[in-house]
Amino acid sequence: MSESYIGLDPSYGAFEKQLITGDGTASTFDLDYPVGQAGQLLVSLDGIVQEPEYAYSISLSTGEPKINFADAPSNGARIFITYLGRQLLSAVLAQASPHIDEFNGNGSTTIFTLTQTPAAANAANFMVFVDNVYQRYGSSYAYTVNGTALTFTSAPPSGTNNIQVVQLSQQNTLNTVADGAISLTKLSFDPADDATALAIALG
């Protein structure tokens, strides 16, 4: 028996999907929807998740969105694309797109510092790849996140930019005004002419 509630039905969003078949020659394919960057796609090639900006990138050619693979998928390869975020055709807030960090593994380091503070430390907010292989979130699996510290359960192997971390959202930081920084001059009030407005502004 399902529980009842008051209000609108909960909405978890709709993820558009696209299936492409490789021919062994082509490395560029048309996308059904425009996206802002490669991290907004989850791409699997014959069931293996591909690393954005390494295994593939996106571009606009003659105004049409395309996906470009570093190597042409083999003939008959199943390319399955899930759109994690479609590009809006209107103004969007800065940092609305996924943020990508790249690190060099050395076979011994397990802790890496993210350049952006994550909005949430959970599996839904991260896609992590090591040597182009998707890593599972959790202390019993490949890695965990605490603040800006990403900790692997086992040190990734040596490589140049072989660790890629995709944050699907980041924590927004609001600027604060220092105490005493606002004066009557900066507010452009004339107490003699606008005493009511001044009283409201100063509480």
Where do we find the tokens 């943020």? Answer: 99
Tell me the pLDDT tens digit for each residue of 104-122.
Answer: 999 999 999 999 888 777 7
pLDDT of residue 186: 54
Q: Are 198 and 183 in contact, with CB atoms under 8 Å apart?
A: no
The Cα 161–Cα 54 span in angstroms is 9
pTM, whole model, 2 decimals? 0.45
pLDDT of residue 171: 56
The Cα 147–Cα 68 span in angstroms is 34
pLDDT of residue 9: 45
pLDDT of residue 166: 86
**Is 127 exposed, middle or buried (CB count within 10 Å of its CB: 0-12, 13-18, 19+)?**
buried
pLDDT of residue 2: 47
Tell me the pLDDT tens digit for each residue of 138-163.
Answer: 888 899 999 899 999 999 999 999 99
Q: Are 158 and 106 in contact, with CB atoms under 8 Å apart?
A: yes
pLDDT of residue 79: 93
The Cα 78–Cα 105 span in angstroms is 30
Q: Are 148 and 126 in contact, with CB atoms under 8 Å apart?
A: no
pLDDT of residue 11: 41
CA angle 87, 103, 152 (to 5 degrees): 100
Nearest to 190 by CA among 178, 182, 198, 179: 198
pLDDT of residue 14: 55
**Is 181 exposed, middle or buried (CB count within 10 Å of its CB: 0-12, 13-18, 19+)?**
exposed
pLDDT of residue 70: 93
Task: Report the chain (203 residues): mean pLDDT per 10 consecutive residues.
Answer: 46 69 94 82 89 88 81 94 63 57 95 88 80 85 91 94 83 56 56 52 54
